[in-house]
């Protein structure tokens, strides 16, 4: 077999058909090479290496494998499965794997086996500088793209605010994006600061100092197809609950929607579509599956959809400076403070007021 070839292809999100087309062979030939049934000629081997940005030797040697305790291997709300593309990195000196998002151009590797005890990953593009950032802010996708040329892999771990904060507290990520209604307390350290057991025997996450960095703000409201032909207020949106998309229960967006609903003295909606991200909500509007969705302005702006603002939210990044190599985290923070990066973020409809400024340090509970 050529497991390294397969691992590197999968880690870059390239199908067999696409790679075969790039190098000018049939899919059957590529399958035979990956399975070891056929040895590639020099020309094909060089073509594969060029297409994957790798050396010929790295494609046909046995891949390095990372064996990761199942507790440290996360796939959103489920377990990692064979052939899942993942990012691999170290958080507080513990190796952790997270599934990559569907839009990610590459990954550290691919899962080759999974059990209740551990996950084994064949590494196809591992980096010594992988920073896990959890959250739902679309700016994280831009951050990942901006960081890549410098050799810093910013891996976006898709999660709502509560999940992101919990992953940071449990030492599964290096940083977390959180958002809260403007003017309200961010309630960073809202849980009791009692050390909690999160790993194997003796593994207890202690309280630690975390830097809070301002990531500007965004408007939350109704994403609609066109003004005048869609709900123009929360009252109108709730008049047709089966045509409304809302964030999942437990998310910050869901709590904000509930506060707005109660302030307007409106009945709780029934029969709405539940989604797990701002972008998923906006996609339903774009396809015409719903009339409106409660999400942020960037989700609407990047799709050319209409938007009815209902509330303002401050957005912060919590960075655990004890979780990784200090130089890598300094690179991350320096990138956030680049004016050109902030301009790219602003183009999505995300307000970059005070973007990248430190709001102080806060004690994240363990």
Q: Which two tokens stand for residue 146?
A: 């901006």
Domains of the chain from N-terminus onward: 3-62 (1.10.260.40), 67-210 (no CATH)
Contacts for 99 with CB less than 8 Å, ≥ 6 apart: 74, 75, 76, 80, 84, 85, 86
Task: Convert the pLDDT of each residue in 32-58 to its tens digit.
Answer: 888 778 888 888 888 888 888 877 877
Q: Predicted confidence band at 1 (pLDDT cuts at 50, 70, 90)?
A: very low
**Region 16-37: what's the mean pLDDT?**
87
pLDDT of residue 191: 40
Task: Convert the pLDDT of each residue in 194-211 to its tens digit.
Answer: 334 334 433 434 345 789
Q: Predicted confidence band at 297 (pLDDT cuts at 50, 70, 90)?
A: very high
Does position 176 have pLDDT exceeding 50, yes or no?
A: yes
Q: Which two tokens stand for residue 268?
A: 């709780």
pLDDT of residue 307: 94
Contact 88, 99 (CB under 8 A): no
Contact 312, 350 (CB under 8 A): no
- 310, exposed or middle or buried, with CB in 10 Å at 0-12, 13-18, 19+? middle
């Amino acid at each position: 077999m050529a497991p390294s070839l397969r691992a590197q292809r999968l880690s870059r999100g390239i199908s067999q058909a696409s790679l075969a087309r790039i190098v000018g062979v049939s899919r059957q030939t590529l399958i035979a090479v990956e399975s070891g049934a056929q040895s590639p000629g020099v020309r094909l081997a060089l073509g594969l290496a060029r297409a994957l940005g790798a050396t010929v030797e790295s494609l046909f040697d046995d891949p390095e494998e990372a064996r990761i305790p199942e507790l440290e291997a996360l796939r959103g709300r489920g377990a990692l499965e064979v052939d899942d593309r993942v990012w691999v990195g170290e958080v507080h000196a513990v190796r952790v794997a997270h599934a990559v998002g569907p839009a990610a151009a590459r990954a550290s590797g691919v899962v080759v086996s999974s059990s209740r005890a551990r996950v084994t990953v064949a590494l196809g593009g591992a980096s010594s500088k992988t920073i896990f950032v959890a959250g739902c802010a679309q700016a994280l996708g831009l951050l990942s793209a901006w960081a890549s040329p410098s050799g810093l892999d910013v891996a976006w771990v898709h999660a709502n605010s509560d999940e992101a904060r919990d992953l940071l507290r449990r030492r599964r990520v290096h940083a977390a994006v959180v958002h809260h209604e403007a003017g309200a307390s961010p309630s960073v350290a809202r849980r009791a600061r009692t050390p909690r057991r999160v790993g194997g025997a003796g593994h207890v996450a202690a309280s630690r100092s975390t830097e809070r960095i301002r990531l500007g703000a965004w408007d939350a409201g109704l994403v609609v197809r066109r003004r005048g032909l869609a709900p123009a207020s929360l009252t109108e949106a709730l008049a047709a609950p089966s045509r409304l998309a809302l964030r999942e229960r437990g998310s910050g967006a869901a709590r904000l929607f509930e506060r707005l609903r109660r302030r307007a003295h409106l009945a709780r909606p029934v029969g709405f579509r539940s989604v797990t991200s701002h972008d998923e909500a906006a996609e339903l509007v774009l396809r015409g599956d719903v009339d409106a969705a409660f999400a942020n302005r960037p989700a609407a702006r990047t799709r050319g959809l209409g938007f009815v603002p209902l509330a303002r939210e401050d957005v912060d990044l919590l960075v655990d400076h004890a979780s990784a190599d200090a130089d890598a985290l300094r690179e991350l923070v320096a990138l956030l403070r680049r004016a050109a990066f902030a301009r790219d973020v602003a183009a999505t409809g995300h307000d970059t007021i005070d973007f990248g400024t430190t709001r102080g340090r806060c004690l994240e509970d363990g």
